[in-house]
Structure formats: C-alpha cells, structure tokens
Amino acid sequence: MPALAERLNRVPVAASVQMTIKARALRAEGKNVISLTIGEPNFATPPHAVEAAHQAALRGETKYPPQDGTPALKAAVQRKFKRDSGLDYALDEICVSNGGKQCIYNALMATVDPGDEVVIPVPYWSAYSLMTELMGGVPVFVTCPQNNGFKPRAEDIEAAITPKTKWLMLNNPNNPTGAACSAAEMRAIADVMVKHPHVWIMSDDMYEHLVFDGFQHATIAQVAPELRDRTLTVSGVSKTYAMTGWRIGFAGGPKNLIKAMVNMQGQVSAGVSTVGQAAAVAALDGPQDGVQEQIVAYKRRRDFVVAALNQCPGINCHNPEGAFYVFPNIAGCLGKTTAGGRLLDTDLDFCMALLEEQLVATVHGAAYGMSPYLRISTATDDAALADACQRIRIFCDGLH
C-alpha cells in the first residue's frame, strides 16, 4: 500500500475530539453520558440569521462566492471591528474563511517556514501547536500559571522571543481557561512586542463578547495602534451567535498578509458558503438580544460550576473572566484510587475513570499543555451541568 505523508505523525487528532467520540460511543451503547468536552453553544442560531440565509437562497445567491468573502459580509465585518474595538480596516484588509480556525491556518500557512518559532501561551487551544508543527514550525510555550490567573506575563513572552520567532499567539478570552487580559495587561504585552518588529501577532478574539462581571474586552491592535501593521485580529460568529455549524470566521489585518491568506484559502477551499455569509451579515448587523441572553446564562453556569467543583475533595477551580470553560486543578485527586479500583497517576487517568465510572466526559489538561487540570465546557444546559457536578462529587468522594 502507498505510504501516507510523514507530516501526519506530527498532528494527532485533538484530545477534545477524541473524548467527544468516546462519549458518543458510550451513548450509542445506551449509557447516560453527559459530555462536557466540546465548545459549542447549546443555544439556537438567531432566527433572523436563519431567515437571511433562506432569503439569500431564494434570491439565487447560491453560486461561487469571492474567495475573500462577499462584499456584504466584508462590509458587516468592517462595521463590527469599528463598533466593538474601534479598529478601522479597509475592505481589502478583511477576509472571510470557513470558521476562525481556517483564518488561523491560512495565516500560519502563508508565513511559517520550517524551523520558524511560534510563541504560544500555555494552556493553549491545541490547534495552535498542531498547525505550527504541521507546517514544520516549532511551538515555543510560555507557561501562564494559575497564580497569575492563567494570563501571559509580558516578561515571560519577552524571554521566549528569539530571532527565529515568527508569531505570538494571543487568545483572549482563552480556551481552555476562560482567562482574559485587561487593556492594561495587554498594553504591557504590546510594550514588549514593539521591541521585536520581526514578529507577527495573532489575536484570536473568538470569545470576545462572552465576558462577565463588567469585564471590558480589549484586543492588542486596539490598545497598541502602533502594532496594527503586524497584527491579525481573528473572530467569527460561531460562539457569539451560536453559529458553529455555519462555519463563518473572519480576520482583519495588513493588506499583504490578508492577500496571502486569501491565496492560501484558494488552494484549499476557495470561497465560503454564500447562504452562510448572508446569515452572518444578519447576525452581525441585527438585534443583539440573544448575545446578552447567552452572557447571562454562561455567567450563571460559571458561578454554579465553579462553586460546585470547589466543594469536591481534591479539586481547586479558578473563577474565569469569560468564555464558557472552567479549568479546575485536580492535583489533590492524583495518587489516589477510584471506587472502581483505578489508580489516578495523571489528569488523563482522571478523565478516563470519570467517563467510565460516572459517565461524565471532560478533557484532560495535558491536551492543552498544562497538568494536572481538566477542561470543562459549560456550554450545555443547567440541568445537565448540575447532574454532571453531582457525579463528579460522587467520583471525588469515592477516592481513597
């Protein structure tokens, strides 16, 4: 049989996907599994966005779209960047992709050569390191400890930068921790980056609207306009508008980088679904009531889950500023044996035993570069979260 490419050895399937598959398999066996593995809102897409897609299809907007996005959506994205962050992007400084993930992939594909380094704060969304490695780049990890709220420290970023550094990746609020940097904290990072003009800066703002307790989201091109010409600001409609399946992401950045990204996209998938783009226009420009409803729900769930987990023996859970994840420390559970007789040496052991014995699916912290932690998604209904937390408590009570 002909061989597959060697690069496949560098990119295993993401752990969140693997755990989701395991949970689905157990459900198929008739078991009552609660899955807290996937970052997907349990809300419906706004009705006006669905209707906009329907009307676009009826109008015959079903042909090949421009590779960089329809004029209508690019204009809506232009308004969104100005409205939310005070960022002024020309239309040729904006592109639309199949989800924010493809924006990131296109950018790295257009810039990273073998041996180039990409500085990634830890914990991190695994796609950053996997994409870097797929392209022959070298991830350089910067630890963001819990005692600093899981936020990157400017001095640690500076220590990680070398002449080979091509990108700094920022994810604010962060997946998997929900941690978010304030404008002042972002300014401190910007002061470091001003000294390193050879480095691109990626600002992944996919969770930008999902913040709590009066927190004000800030993106680096906003707080440091002098870095605008080498900053790529990425967002989309997936999380804010519960539109994960529509696959609409977008980015704003310098014209030469955007042009290169559109070229890369042309080699992979060309333009993005026309009806999906019509829906995204309606989501961005239409009523925002649903966003506020989500924020209220996610804050309520965060408060409940953090309090419940902190009642579990051996678990310490940080209270995040945003997103819909919590990232509890389970160090106090390791070295113990479960009620089912399994010794817990690692956070992966904890996840697997929790799934097998209590039918709760989570993702181990090692998948995001930091142990011993779990990522728990609160993007599910309140009743399921309450049941899951009760099962986790039973699991922890049974450790000995």
Where residue 145 sits, what CATH number does that domain have? 3.40.640.10
pLDDT (mean) for 119-143: 97
Q: Is the pLDDT of residue 15 over 80?
A: no
Q: Is the pLDDT of residue 398 over 80?
A: yes
Q: Provide the percentage of residues in the chain whose pLDDT is more than 70.
A: 100
The answer on 229 and 360 residing in a single domain is: no
What is the rounded distance in angstroms from the CA atom of residue 389 to the CA atom of residue 164? 45
The answer on 149 and 35 residing in a single domain is: no
Q: Is the pLDDT of residue 325 over 90?
A: yes
Q: pLDDT (tens digit, 9 = 90+) per residue, 141-191?
A: 999 999 999 999 999 999 999 999 999 999 999 999 999 999 999 999 999
The answer on 180 and 139 residing in a single domain is: yes
Q: Of 356, 395, 383, 381, which is closest to residue 25 (Cα–Cα)?
A: 356
Final residue belonging to a domain, choices 251, 285, 319 = 285
The answer on 129 and 107 residing in a single domain is: yes
The answer on 372 and 232 residing in a single domain is: no
In a domain, 23, yes or no: yes
Answer whether 173's CB lies under 8 Å from 210's CB. yes
The answer on 354 and 279 residing in a single domain is: no
Q: Is the pLDDT of residue 390 over 90?
A: yes
Q: pLDDT (tens digit, 9 = 90+) per residue, 277-317?
A: 999 999 999 999 999 999 999 999 999 999 999 999 999 99
Q: pLDDT (tens digit, 9 = 90+) per residue, 220-229?
A: 999 999 999 9
Q: What's residue 22's pLDDT?
A: 84
What is the average pLDDT score of the chain? 96
Final residue belonging to a domain, choices 285, 300, 331 = 285
Final residue belonging to a domain, choices 256, 285, 314 = 285
In a domain, 1, yes or no: no
The answer on 297 and 249 residing in a single domain is: no
In a domain, 267, yes or no: yes
pLDDT (mean) for 351-366: 95
Q: Is the pLDDT of residue 319 over 80?
A: yes
The answer on 108 and 252 residing in a single domain is: yes
Q: pLDDT (tens digit, 9 = 90+) per residue, 302-312?
A: 999 999 999 99
Which of the four pLDDT bands, split at 50, 70 and 90, describes residue 8? confident
The answer on 301 and 276 residing in a single domain is: no
Q: Which domain holds residue 336?
A: 6-44+290-397
The answer on 267 and 133 residing in a single domain is: yes
Q: What's residue 14's pLDDT?
A: 78
Give me the number of domains the chain comprises.
2
The answer on 255 and 117 residing in a single domain is: yes
Q: Of 381, 368, 85, which is closest to residue 250 (Cα–Cα)?
A: 85
The answer on 30 and 94 residing in a single domain is: no
